[in-house]
Structure 1
Amino acid sequence: MRFNPKARLDTRRVRDSGRSGGGGSRMPGGGGRLPIPGGAAAGGGLGGLLVIVLVIVVMQFMGGGGGGAPTASDDLDLSRVQGDDSQRYASCETGADANQDVDCARVAVENSLTAYWSDTLPEQADADFRPEQVMATFTGAVSTGCGQATSDVGPFYCPPDEGIYLDTTFFEDVLQQGLGGPAGAFVEPYVLAHEYGHHIQNVLGTMGRVRTQQGPESDAVRLELQADCYAGMWTGSATTATDEQGEAFISELSQTDIDQAIAAAKAVGDDRIQDRTTGRVNPAEWTHGSAEQRQRWFKVGYEQGSLEACDTFATDTL
């Protein structure tokens, strides 16, 4: 993956909360932890790290009823994430910076996702788009609209404050070392695109359709597979998303990049996680979908590029 050196980066929605010590990974008052398939222990070692993989914290926010996302006119309470910014991204100005610095690459990916969905959502869904409120990195722990979260949580989207959060050590410590997932420049963009997919679901109100939480055909699995499909949609058109001057953020995306995303999707399949952490596979406990399902739905989005093709709630074949 290469970024266009001429692209101008916008850091307004990307921030870093720095290092925060202490605090548990429980998310009270608006979020909840989804355990690793198979019930990995929350103690030390691998089980302690793999509390959540690519989690979405939705259910308590929805209040058990229809629920719904905040509308564009709602006042979102971002006070919990508006603390001191470490200025980690202050020097990220152009695509040239993104080619030299992994932090600036993260900004460029966020900008590309925002640009892509700002065009795609109104075109395909006749819906008003709004960007996520914040894409925040942290070290140790972070306070969000879904409560307190530690690095154990992994990357997640928080609906109440419309924020995406991640400790970047996840990719090496958990995805690569713990789950045997791939290394490579496009692994993190796939994860960020998946979480941005949850934001699109929030905007469209899809989260309110989730009733069943576990099982191979549960609503929770359908939601996650749809987010993978949305990630594939962006990937297929990533080189066409442009800044305000019409400069593409990403100038080159190779087959190797696509293969890395597919390998990452495979690594975080429920069956793969269960097998690596407990030695058994129990589909009744799935919350995100199997390795095969996650790869397949990413490919559907990549190849077909439409919200309609990504409607996992409309099919009997997941």
Structure 2
Amino acid sequence: MLRASARLALLTTVLVATTSCAHVVPGRPVAGEGVTRGTVDPGFIRGTDGGPIDQLAATAITDINTYWEDAFPDTFGKPWQELEGGIYSVDTADPSAKPPPCTEQASDVEGNAFYCPSADAIAWDRAALLPVLQDRFGDAAVVIVLAHEWGHAVQNRMGITPEAERREPRRFPTILTEAMADCFAGAFVKWVNDGESEHLEIGSEVLDPALGALVTFRDPVGTSQTDRSAHGNAFDRVSAFQDGYQQGSKFCAGMTVDNRVFTQQAFTNADDRDRGGNLPFDEILTAVTQDLDLYYKGLVQGAGKQWTTPRTTPTEQEPDCSGDQGPVAFCPADDSVEVEVEEDLPELHARIGDYATGVLLASRYGLAAMDAVGAEVEGASAATSALCLAGAYTREVFIRQEGFGLSPGDLDEAVQVLLAYDYAARDAAGGSALEPGFKRVEVFRGGVLEGSGACGLS
């Protein structure tokens, strides 16, 4: 924060053809459960070894294609055209493996999955990508990645071809086409979640860890959204997926540079870049609490009520003043905010980044503001409003031109902490937490996009 951010990268993005591709680097596995009701014979996949990972891929592809057989005519008013160039599974660990289209040798596919528009084909690394995704994030991550690549095939049929992108780069920047593919993947997953898929079932228990793949496929922190290879930060990518999930393929197809807002930013000063965007833990606590006080004072006074600055109390153990709210708690009895400064919160700060701390504090100050205006601070609606207000505060510091504001990567840190923990979505009694993480990100995003008016503070 204060133009600061942190990066927890398991995979880094590498551009191949028109798609997002990844290489594996060390990280913490967060695998989900299986998603198949029965697997499909992968014999139609070129180069397959018939093994479990290609069985999962074949199952996913079969249902993805079925989805577009129905959705494409409904969305675009013309029939779906099957891929002409085929599907390729590449064993990049085998030096004798045949290369797929758009490559010169099999090793070119290492760590990647991509759509090749010139051949109308899809290929993936079955040795060093899909198994890694499956191990870290569960079967659903493999499905989402393949659905994303299929989204590029959909774009090709829409006329968003490499030639069109070169001819009109401002109309079809990479960050937009990647967001559209994420959106198409979300629309497909909703179709599966609705029970329409013959072979797949993806519920909330597997969706949260699977979205970790989108988080780790983000651009390196500090990449400008105008970069010709920009794919989007985690907030933009998860947002696009959620838009597809909630609004369907027609919405995705209508995305343009004029109606899509991206939050990805480049670093604006050398000091922030040199420290990786992160303020030390003690500094972020001081800076963000002072800023939260000013922000919520304005909201409360704007509602015609009086704001009293909460007393911030550091503790060595998890706060217990009012139920189990996690490492940061709002205490209604004395209008204070207790902050655990020895273990859990510093660990989140170190592992995810400084705005993980910022989001938790913003949601607890949100409860303080709700209490100040006489709103309920316990129950499901209170938990939802507190999280939404954290998003509204984030919007405020994101759009500032001077002073205390967000750094590249801070919104990604918010997504990470919300997917992994429910702390920011607990009420003042430590209960009524919003589940799953997918829903927490949705509510937070509502505050970011619409401001405090969406949060029910009155």
Q: TM-score scaled to structure 2, two decimals? A: 0.42
* 2:130 paired with 1:186: no
From 138, 150, 172, give the equivalent of 2:90: 138
**In the TM superposition, what are the counterparts of 1:206-285 in structure 2 within 5 Å?**
206-207=160-161, 208-211=163-166, 219-238=173-192, 240-241=195-196, 248-250=198-200, 252-270=201-219, 274-275=220-221, 281-285=223-227
Q: Deviations over 1:175-201 (max 9, x none)?
A: 69xxxx942111111110000000011
Unaligned runs of 5+ in 1: 1-45, 59-83, 92-100, 243-247
Distance in 1 separating the partners of 2:167 and 2:180: 15
1:57/1:146 contact within 8 Å kept:
no
Q: CA deviation at 1:264?
A: 1.1
Q: CA deviation at 1:170?
A: 3.4
Amino acid at match of 1:265: L
* 2:119 paired with 1:161: yes
Unaligned runs of 5+ in 2: 1-8, 20-44, 263-458
**In the TM superposition, what are the counterparts of 1:5-154 in structure 2 within 5 Å?**
52=14, 55-57=16-18, 86=47, 88-89=49-50, 101-133=52-84, 134-140=86-92, 142-149=98-105, 150-152=108-110, 154=112
Amino acid at match of 2:199: F
- RMSD between aligned residues: 3.3
Q: Percent identity?
A: 24
Q: Which of the two has greater helix per residue? A: 2
Structure 1 counterpart SS, 2:242: helix
Aligned to 1:63: none
Q: Which has the higher contact order (CA 8 A, sep 6+)?
A: 1
Q: TM-score scaled to structure 1, two decimals? A: 0.59
Distance in 2 separating the partners of 1:312 and 1:218: 10
Amino acid at match of 1:159: P
Distance in 2 separating the partners of 1:87 and 1:185: 18
Q: CA deviation at 1:281?
A: 4.6
Distance in 2 separating the partners of 1:309 and 1:85: 30
Aligned to 1:61: none
2:72/2:80 contact within 8 Å kept:
yes
Distance in 2 separating the partners of 1:188 and 1:128: 27
Bigger Rg, which one: 2
Q: CA deviation at 1:212?
A: 8.4
Amino acid at match of 1:197: G
Q: CA deviation at 1:115?
A: 0.3
